[in-house]
Amino acid sequence: MTKVELFLYFIVLVVPEKIHSLTGGEPVLRQNYGYVVQIHDDNFLAIGTLFTARYILTVAHSFPSRIKLEKLTVVAGNDKLWLKNKGLSVAAIHRHPKFSSLTLRNDIAVLRVKNPIQYNRFISYISLCTKPLPIEKNTTEILIVGWNFLDLLESMKTIRVDIDSPTKCRSKFVQVPEGVSCAVSTSNPQGICYGDSGSPLIVGGELCGMVIGFRRCNNSRYPGLITDVYFHREFISNAILKLDKDMLKV
């Protein structure tokens, strides 16, 4: 697979004409998904998921090592996507030390805010995945939550997906790394596209994945790529311990 082909996996924020993100799907009440937050610097960077009052799970590829921490803010409790917005200050971010921007291996990061994000009517927290992703069609509802990047007037929405088996996933993405799964939309036309980086995949009320890439927008032949949260549970635990210790030194 060439570098050009691998680049097609990435979700970037340059949006070609007539391309939408999280196309189709069902509008939702923001209070039902109050754990979905927006992460900004001078502009919108990625979606994150609040799993405690201080900690957010997001994707590594949206936060290069050169990024200025003091510019990062988190916007919580909104059901519209804002391209520029001042939010809550970020204290630290810990990317997976073995993240590969070429293959999307270990595309995961833990972010800590300076002050707790208080629970209220429009803000909540979600539990991390306690079991492996369900493979292919089953009775468990699997949702991806996000926004339409080209229409800022649209509210938060969800789409329903199924998870491909590893074998089926690799038949479409030959070099998909361990810890990455394929999520296939259950109906057309709907799916993920540009601007969906970090959109949470929810299984049984738990955070079980995050959108990291795609090959073709909203195309069921090429499912979206998902970082598997359960696979990375050890990294998440270690990241929290590290960030907590670092904060005590300040």
Which tens digit of pLDDT belongs to each residue from 43-86? 889 999 999 999 999 999 999 988 999 999 999 998 888 766 67
**pTM of this prediction?**
0.87
In 3D space, the residue among 100, 75, 59 whose CA is nearest the CA of residue 229 turns out to be 59
Confidence of residue 22 (pLDDT cuts 50, 70, 90): low
Is the model's pLDDT at 151 over the cut of 90?
A: no
Strand pairing partners for 228? 209
Task: Identify residue 205 by its one-letter amino acid code.
Answer: G
The per-residue pLDDT for 105 is 96
pLDDT in tens, 179-225: 999 998 887 667 777 678 899 999 999 999 999 988 777 666 778 89
Q: Is the peptide bond before 134 cis (omega within 30 degrees of 0)?
A: no
Q: What is the C-alpha end-to-end distance of the chain, expressed in Å?
A: 45
Over residues 155-181, mean pLDDT: 90
| E-state strands within the chain | 26-27, 36-40, 44-50, 55-58, 73-75, 88-95, 109-113, 127-128, 142-146, 157-163, 180-185, 200-203, 206-213, 224-228
Which of 2-11, 134-143, 191-200 is predicted least confidently? 2-11
